[in-house]
Amino acid sequence: MNVRHHALAAVAATLIASVAAEAQAPPRPAPAAAPAATTPATRVGVVDVQRVLARSAAGVTAREQLERERAVMQKELDGKRQELEKLREEIEKKGPLMTAETRREKEESYDRKRRDWARQSDDFRKDLEKKEQQLLQRVLREVYVVIDRLGKDGNYLLILERREAGVAFASASADVTNEIIRAYDQESTSKDKGDKGKR
């Protein structure tokens, strides 16, 4: 009987000591809170890409480059057209005084030069269109990178292209075009400075 009492007393003493120690121990830190859920994207924006192309620094530079090349091509074509007009006037005015063979040679020369002019004019037009597409595609690729970054940083659900998406109405607060132009100009300026520094 004494052995049982001693055993129970020992267990009770152990429990009491354990509870007392727990009470005196410093408080445990609270479990770490679960990371807050990311706020879902709810904003919707609208961008007029044509306005970005027309007003951004890179878009203006691309258009100016195309205009310079168009002016050079047009000057060459105008010079050749003037030669054609002179030759035609010569045939019309002096033709009756020419021998049949001379007149035939002049007319053949005129026809050949006219075909060459038309072919060159067509080649210039195609070349210019190709360069325009290349320049615009490069600018558009850069613009869409800026739009993508703005969409992610600004927590946008969507950024729609005003013309392509057929947007009938968008409030002024939804239009991010000017913001895109500013960001794109800033990026283009930084890139230009970096390129110059490498030279």
DSSP-based three-state secondary structure for 158: strand
Q: Give the start-to-end residue ranges of the domains of the chain.
A: 42-188
The phi-psi region of residue 155 (left if phi > 0; otherwise alpha if psi is between -120 and 50; otherwise beta) is left
**Phi, psi dihedrals of residue 41, rounded to the nearest 5°:** -65, 130
> pLDDT grade, residue 23 (50/70/90)?
very low
Q: pLDDT digit string (tens) for 54-68?
A: 999 999 999 999 999
Q: Is the pTM of this model over 0.85?
A: no
Rounded average pLDDT over 121-141: 94
Q: Residue 25 has which token pair? A: 């121990």
Decide if 44 contacts 158 (C-beta within 8 A).
yes
Rounded-to-integer distance, Cα 99 and Cα 11, Å: 140
